[in-house]
Amino acid sequence: MTTRRPALFLDRDGVLNVDRGYVSRVEDFEWIEGAIDCVANFKRRGWFVFVVTNQSGIARGLYTEEDMQTLHAHMAEELEKAGTAIDHFYYAPWHEAGEIARYRRESIDRKPGPGMLLQAMADFPVNREQSFLIGDKQTDMEAARAAGVGAFLFTGGNLATFAEWALASFEDGVRG
């Protein structure tokens, strides 16, 4: 029997990295202050850490899935250099008004839908009741609630500091 563990779900743009609008190239990527420390702190606790990110820029034809995978590989390399890791990157390339036909559709995976979080909980032995999401938009909060996990709205500053506050609040019964 595999022991279930809590998970920290993190939105990408605006939470892990500075949101410059459709960030898809390594040269445009910049970590949010405290982002790497946040991941490391939760991994040290034995938590899963997942990225759950809408990537409608793919459907809009602004960049490709390969571009996004290259950026995620860069993030993973930087985290590895710091001695930590993301357990899995989940992304939703869909948008109902997309320019690229194969990505033009509605999807439960696209936040505010809970699909990416539910998929992570199906793929890994996650303890849902002890898990929460940090996002920077109301759609992130809605997705977390729909998936049955806590939710905290990040509005800037040091992500590691915010995540520690969120964890303490969550442990005190605040669900975001």
Using CA atoms, how far apart are residues 24 and 48, in angstroms rounded to an integer? 25
Q: Which of 87, 77, 109 is nearest to 39 (CA)?
A: 87
Using CA atoms, how far apart are residues 148 and 131, in angstroms rounded to an integer? 9
Known catalytic membership, residue 13: yes
Known catalytic membership, residue 11: yes
Cis amide prior to 125 (ω within 30 degrees): no
Rg from Cα positions in the chain: 15
Contact, 25 vs 164, CB < 8 A? no
Out of 13, 37, 109, 140, pick the active-site residue.
Answer: 13
Contacts of 100 (CB under 8 A, 6+ apart): 58, 59, 60, 61
Tokens of 133: 């999401």
Out of 11, 87, 109, 140, pick the active-site residue.
Answer: 11
Q: Please list the active-site residues.
A: 11, 13
